[in-house]
Amino acid sequence: MLDIDVNFASAHLYLGWAFEQKGLPNEAIAEIEKAFSLSGGDPLIVGALGHAYAVSGQRDRARKVIRRALRHRNNLYRSGR
């Protein structure tokens, strides 16, 4: 997929998950961060990024990402979208 379209966020997400499962947290984070930047803030990818930070021991970054996602969610509900 990445050979076909390097801007396909889902492919970066899946690759990140694969790296995470292989015990390669730095590679996982790099791919999931790419997915995040390409996705426009897709909630699934935001959650995956927070999780990747948490399992890599970067708890403060994980909290920051999750808080941001929660604020975004609350704004969506308040705006009626």
Q: Does residue 63 lie in a domain region?
A: yes
For residue 45, what pLDDT is reported?
93
How far apart are the two ends of the chain, measured CA to CA in Å?
32
pTM of this structure: 0.81
Distance, in Å, from the CA atom of 72 to the CA atom of 58, rounded to the nearest integer, reads 21
Instruction: Write out the residue range of the structural domain in which residue 61 sits.
Output: 9-79
For residue 71, what pLDDT is reported?
78
Each residue's pLDDT tens digit in the chain (81 positions)? 556 688 999 999 999 999 999 999 999 999 999 999 999 888 889 999 999 999 999 999 999 998 888 877 655 555 555
Kindly report the CATH number assigned to the domain that includes residue 17: 1.25.40.10
Q: Is 24 helix (H, G, I), strand (E, B) or coil?
A: coil
Q: Does residue 3 lie in a domain region?
A: no
Do residues 9 and 39 lie in contact, with contact meaning Cβ atoms separated by under 8 Å? yes
Give the count of domains, the chain: 1
Residue 53: phi, psi to the nearest 5?
-60, -45
Q: Does residue 27 lie in a domain region?
A: yes
